[in-house]
Structure 1
Amino acid sequence: MKRSKYRLLGLIGQGQFGQVYCAVHRPTGRLVALKSLAHERFPTHKFLRELRFLLSLQHPNIVTCQALEHTATGRYLVMDYCEGGTLRTLMTEESRLAVPYSLKIVADVLAGLEHAHSRGIVHCDIKPENILLHVHAGGWTARISDFGIARLSREIVRQDGNTGSPAYMAPERFYGQYSVASDLYSVGILLFELLAGYRPFSGTPAQLMSAHLNTPLHLPDTIPSVWQPLITQALQKLPARRFHSASEMLAAIHAIAKPAASTESTEAWVDWSTAPTPLFFTVELPPECQFQPQEQTPLKQKITALAVAQPEDTVPAAPPANWTDGTAASWVVYQAAGHQLQQVRGRLAATSTESEQPFQPIATVSGEPIEQLLVRPQGCFVVTAQAVQLLPFSSTSEGSMSLQPIAVWPQPSRVAISSDGSWLAAIVSSVGESHLHWQRIAERPSFAVASQPVALHLPDMQSASLLPLDLRHLAIATTNPPAFASDPSRKEQAAGTTIRVFTRRGALLGSLPLAVRLETVILTANPYQLLAADADHAGALLLIDLKPYRIKRLWVEITPAFLAVTDWGYIVAEAAGRIVFLDQEGRQIGTIHSPAAITAIATMQGDRLLIATWDHDHGALYRFELRDLGLDLVF
Structure 2
Amino acid sequence: MQRSKYRILGLVGQGQYGKVYCASDRQKGQLVALKELSHSATSTSQFLQELWYIISLQHPNIAACLGLEHIQNGRYLVMDYCEAGTLRGLIEGNQTLGLLEGLQIIVEVLQGLDYAHQRGIIHCDIKPENILLTIVAGKWQPKLSDFGIARRLPSHHDIGSPSHAPGGSPAYMAPERFYGMYSAQSDIYAMGVVLYELLVGDRPFHGLFNELMWAHMNHRVERPTFLPECLQNILQTSLEKLPARRFPSAGAMTESLKAAMADPSVQEIGDRLIPWYSPSQITTTGEATNSLDQDSNAIDSLEFYDLPYKLNNPPPSDSQPLLASNPTHLYSATGSNVITWSYTEQHSQSFTLSESVVSLYPMSHGCYILTNNYLHWWHNSSHQPDSQSLGFLQKIFKETDTTLKPTTLAISQDLVKSRFNSSLVGQADLLPECQRDYLTIAVPGQLRFYSLTKGLTNPDHSTENQGHSSIKLLKVISVSTQILPQLTFIDGRHLLATWSNTKPSSPKTIFQMYSRRGAPMGTIKLPINVNQVFATPHPYTILALCQHQPLTLLQINLKPLSVIRVAVASPPTALFMADWGYGWTIEPGKMQIFNWSGHRLVEYNCPVATALARWKQTGLALVPSTGYSIKVVDSLGLPLQELSEDIDV
The aligned counterpart of 1:306 is 323
The aligned counterpart of 1:328 is none
| Structure 1 pair 276–513 and aligned structure 2 pair: CA distance change class (3 A) | farther
The aligned counterpart of 2:425 is none
TM-score, with structure 2 as normaliser: 0.82
| Rounded Cα–Cα distance in structure 2 between residues aligned with 1:404 and 1:150 | 71
1:167 counterpart = 2:151: no
Report the residue type matching 2:321 in the other structure: T
Task: Choose from 542, 546, 550 the match for 2:562.
Answer: 550
TM-score, with structure 1 as normaliser: 0.84
Task: Choose from 211, 214, 237 the match for 1:210.
Answer: 214
Q: How does 1:355-394 map to 2 (within 5 A)?
A: 357=347, 359-366=348-355, 369-377=356-364, 379-394=366-381
Task: Choose from 402, 405, 416 the match for 2:410.
Answer: 416
The aligned counterpart of 1:426 is 440
Report the residue type matching 2:128 in the other structure: P
**Aligned partner of residue 252 in structure 2, secondary structure:** helix
| Rounded Cα–Cα distance in structure 2 between residues aligned with 1:632 and 1:473 | 28
| Rounded Cα–Cα distance in structure 2 between residues aligned with 1:503 and 1:518 | 22
The aligned counterpart of 2:476 is 453
**Aligned partner of residue 442 in structure 1, secondary structure:** strand
Conserved in 2, the CA contact under 8 Å of 1:290 and 1:629? no
Conserved in 2, the CA contact under 8 Å of 1:520 and 1:561? no
**Aligned partner of residue 620 in structure 1, secondary structure:** coil
Task: Choose from 238, 242, 245 the match for 2:242.
Answer: 238
**Aligned partner of residue 188 in structure 2, secondary structure:** helix
| Rounded Cα–Cα distance in structure 1 between residues aligned with 2:620 and 2:320 | 15
| Rounded Cα–Cα distance in structure 2 between residues aligned with 1:498 and 1:427 | 18
1:525 counterpart = 2:537: yes
Moved more, 227-236 or 139-148: 227-236
| Structure 1 pair 28–239 and aligned structure 2 pair: CA distance change class (3 A) | same
Conserved in 2, the CA contact under 8 Å of 1:195 and 1:222? no
| Rounded Cα–Cα distance in structure 2 between residues aligned with 1:174 and 1:449 | 71
- 1:569, distance to aligned residue in structure 2 (A): 0.9
Report the residue type matching 2:117 in the other structure: H
| Rounded Cα–Cα distance in structure 1 between residues aligned with 2:14 and 2:637 | 40
The aligned counterpart of 2:193 is 189
Q: How does 1:179-328 map to 2 (within 5 A)?
A: 179-258=183-262, 260=263, 263=264, 265=265, 267-268=266-267, 283=278, 285-297=296-308, 301=315, 304-310=321-327
Task: Choose from 336, 341, 344 the match for 1:344.
Answer: 341
**Aligned partner of residue 202 in structure 1, secondary structure:** coil
Determine what percentage of the aligned residue pairs are the same residue.
35
**Aligned partner of residue 217 in structure 1, secondary structure:** coil
**Aligned partner of residue 207 in structure 1, secondary structure:** helix
| Structure 1 pair 478–632 and aligned structure 2 pair: CA distance change class (3 A) | same
**Aligned partner of residue 89 in structure 1, secondary structure:** helix
Conserved in 2, the CA contact under 8 Å of 1:541 and 1:555? yes
| Structure 1 pair 459–166 and aligned structure 2 pair: CA distance change class (3 A) | farther
Conserved in 1, the CA contact under 8 Å of 2:447 and 2:478? yes
- 1:333, distance to aligned residue in structure 2 (A): 2.3
| Rounded Cα–Cα distance in structure 1 between residues aligned with 2:200 and 2:183 | 26
The aligned counterpart of 2:288 is none
| Rounded Cα–Cα distance in structure 1 between residues aligned with 2:85 and 2:99 | 20
Q: How does 1:496-515 map to 2 (within 5 A)?
A: 496-515=508-527
Conserved in 2, the CA contact under 8 Å of 1:590 and 1:632? no
1:557-578 deviations in whole A, cap 9, x for unaligned?
A: 1312322211221121247653
Report the residue type matching 2:615 in the other structure: M
Conserved in 2, the CA contact under 8 Å of 1:287 and 1:589? no
Report the residue type matching 1:48 in the other structure: L
Report the residue type matching 2:49 in the other structure: R
Task: Choose from 571, 576, 599 the match for 1:559.
Answer: 571
1:177 counterpart = 2:176: no
| Rounded Cα–Cα distance in structure 2 between residues aligned with 1:614 and 1:440 | 37
- 1:439, distance to aligned residue in structure 2 (A): 0.7
Conserved in 2, the CA contact under 8 Å of 1:564 and 1:570? yes
The aligned counterpart of 1:439 is 450
| Rounded Cα–Cα distance in structure 2 between residues aligned with 1:99 and 1:121 | 30
Task: Choose from 496, 512, 529 the match for 1:475.
Answer: 496
**Aligned partner of residue 161 in structure 1, secondary structure:** coil
| Rounded Cα–Cα distance in structure 2 between residues aligned with 1:631 and 1:308 | 18
| Rounded Cα–Cα distance in structure 2 between residues aligned with 1:118 and 1:532 | 41
| Structure 1 pair 282–166 and aligned structure 2 pair: CA distance change class (3 A) | closer
Structure 1: gaps of 5 or more residues:
311-330, 350-356, 486-493
| Rounded Cα–Cα distance in structure 2 between residues aligned with 1:449 and 1:401 | 22
| Rounded Cα–Cα distance in structure 2 between residues aligned with 1:130 and 1:450 | 50
| Rounded Cα–Cα distance in structure 1 between residues aligned with 2:218 and 2:343 | 70
Report the residue type matching 1:241 in the other structure: R
